[in-house]
Amino acid sequence: MKRLIVVFIIIFLVVLISCKQGTSFKAGEVNAKIDSARIEFKNNKIAEGLDILLDAVIAALPYTDFPAEVETKVTSAKESFKEGILNKEGTKALREALALIKTEAEEPEPASGIIGNVAEAFNKMLTSAQEELKKENPAEAVEMLLEGVLLIFGPAVS
């Protein structure tokens, strides 16, 4: 009887470990999306870059403890932005998604000043998000990406 219990425990552990490996976070895939978005932004393909960046957020969300509503909001924003990157509904959905994940519902500072400074701040946020992904901290990366998108697109439609 003891031997049977030990066998069942070993089988359970093997199944548990194999399931965990199949759902492990793949930071490289999300980082590649962020890199692709940067290229699109540099080539003045803003809509394409935004779309890819939101894909990166959606790819990282399953590895966070955020409520499912966050993914719904981001997906809704992604669809809204297909109508135009200055879409109020899309921006509102992203603000709501960010409010769901932040401990304090504080918004990023409005983009102001020299355009180069805003672009530099956005670039730093993307870099910080990628660093968090390397540390396998997708929750922080998602938050930074959403804040970055709202830094650029949020104030323009407020």
Domain coverage including residue 131: 26-157
Residue type at position 109: E
Residue 78 near residue 51, CB atoms below 8 Å: yes
- Please compute, for residue 25, the number of CA atoms within 13 A of its CA located in the half-sphere on the CB side: 21
d(CA 1, CA 24): 35
- Does residue 158 register a pLDDT over 60? no
Task: Give the three-state DSSP class for 137.
Answer: coil
> Model confidence over 22-48: pLDDT tens digits?
456 778 898 899 999 999 988 999 889
> Model confidence over 110-131: pLDDT tens digits?
445 555 677 888 889 899 999 9
User: Does 99 fall in a domain?
Assistant: yes
User: Does 17 fall in a domain?
Assistant: no
| CA dihedral of 121, 122, 124, 126, whole degrees rounded to 10 | 170
User: Does 63 fall in a domain?
Assistant: yes
- What is the domain count for the chain? 1
User: Does 18 fall in a domain?
Assistant: no
User: Does 144 fall in a domain?
Assistant: yes
Q: Determine the pLDDT at residue 51.
A: 93
User: Does 12 fall in a domain?
Assistant: no
- Does residue 96 register a pLDDT over 60? yes
Render the burial of 8-31: b for 16+ CB within 10 Å, e for the rest. Answer: eeeeeeeeeeeeeeeeebebeebb
User: Does 10 fall in a domain?
Assistant: no
* First and final C-alpha spacing in the chain: 68
Residue type at position 3: R
User: Does 9 fall in a domain?
Assistant: no
